[in-house]
């Protein structure tokens, strides 16, 4: 990749000679190293790039994961300041990074509106809940629903980019489900940031409903799960359209839904 190149990805351009990034009518200076890093990721847009490949291409030597993570974090902040929602950089656990841009064609990807009657969905919950749902759908319902009790395995399935909805249990330990919702909306996973999300919980608390609104979650499924209701909610969620907020808006939303978080949610509502 030449240092005189301009790498164009959708409405965004990375100018290698000026060490800058331009999105529509806004520009920001990146510096030589981060320009090269972003340029390399954009050259391989919508593809996972391994850490070793990044080290060799950008630094010309092996560097620590911490070093790469620091520069990726800085790139995300700059991209956010441009109010850009077209390009996101996601971390793929144990694999590397991906610069994702919806404006760039992905021929193997089926658009949600083409599959509303057979939407493919993923579900993350505890093993007991997954088994209960599996038993309920034993008669052939929801054939397109895959269930996981392990977030790592769900992340791997998201890499296929063939799913139109994800159902996430918000009662998982250590707020794992809530953190995953935030990670998806801020582009930290391989799923499209605007994928349809449904939350799963035992009750519809004010804190959870507030979280859902702020994180653009399309609906809430209350346990115990009714298969017919679940199927309808998936179809409805996939059919819904919304505009992604800047990452900074999602970053403000707390993922610990206790009394203290309730106050923070109110503050986030007022500032959004």
Instruction: Give the domains, in start order, of the chain with CATH numbers.
Output: 6-101 (1.10.10.10), 112-258 (3.40.50.2300)
Residue 49 zone, left/alpha/beta (φ > 0; ψ -120 to 50; rest): beta
- Cis omega (within 30 of 0) for bond into 224: yes
| 65-93 pLDDT tens trace | 999 999 999 898 888 888 777 788 998 88
pLDDT of residue 100: 87
The better pLDDT of the pair 126, 248 is held by 126
155 or 185: whose pLDDT is higher?
Answer: 185
pLDDT of residue 146: 92
d(CA 263, CA 70): 31
Give the SS3 label for residue 151: helix
pLDDT at 107 over 50: no
| Position 272 confidence tier, pLDDT thresholds 50, 70, 90 | very low
pLDDT digits (tens, 9 = 90+) for 198-226: 999 999 999 999 999 999 999 999 999 98
Tokens 């391994």 -> residue = 50
Could you report the per-residue pLDDT of 13-71, keeping only the tens digit for each?
A: 888 888 888 887 788 888 889 999 999 999 888 889 999 999 999 998 999 999 999 99
Query: CB atoms < 10 A from the CB of 83, how many?
Result: 13
Residues 6+ apart with CB under 8 A from 180: 124, 151, 154, 168, 189
Phi, psi of 148 (to 5 degrees): -140, 145
Strand ranges (E), 74-181: 87-92, 96-101, 121-124, 145-148, 165-169
């Amino acid at each position: 990749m030449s240092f005189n190149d301009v790498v164009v990805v959708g409405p965004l351009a990375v100018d290698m000679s000026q060490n800058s990034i331009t999105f529509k009518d806004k520009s920001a200076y990146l510096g030589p190293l981060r320009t090269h890093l972003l340029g390399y990721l954009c050259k391989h847009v919508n593809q996972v790039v391994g850490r070793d490949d990044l080290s060799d291409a950008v630094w010309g030597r092996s560097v620590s994961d911490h070093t790469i993570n620091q520069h990726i974090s800085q790139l995300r902040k700059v991209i956010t300041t441009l109010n850009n929602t077209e390009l996101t950089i996601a971390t793929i656990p144990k694999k590397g990074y991906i610069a994702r841009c919806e404006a760039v064609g992905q021929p193997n990807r089926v658009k949600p509106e083409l599959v509303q009657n057979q939407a493919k969905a993923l579900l993350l919950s505890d093993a007991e809940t997954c088994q209960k749902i599996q038993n309920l759908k034993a008669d052939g319902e929801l054939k397109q629903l895959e269930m996981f009790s392990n977030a790592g395995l769900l992340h791997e399935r998201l890499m296929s980019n063939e799913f139109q909805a994800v159902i996430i249990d918000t009662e998982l330990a250590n707020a794992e489900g809530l953190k995953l919702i935030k990670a998806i909306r801020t582009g930290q996973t391989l799923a499209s940031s605007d994928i349809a999300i449904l939350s799963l919980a035992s009750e519809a608390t004010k804190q959870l409903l507030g979280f859902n609104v702020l994180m653009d979650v399309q609906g809430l499924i209350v346990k115990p799960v009714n298969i017919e209701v679940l199927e309808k909610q998936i179809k409805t969620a996939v059919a819904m359209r919304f505009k992604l907020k800047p990452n900074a808006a999602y970053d403000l939303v707390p993922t610990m839904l206790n009394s203290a978080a309730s106050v923070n949610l109110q503050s986030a509502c007022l500032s959004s």
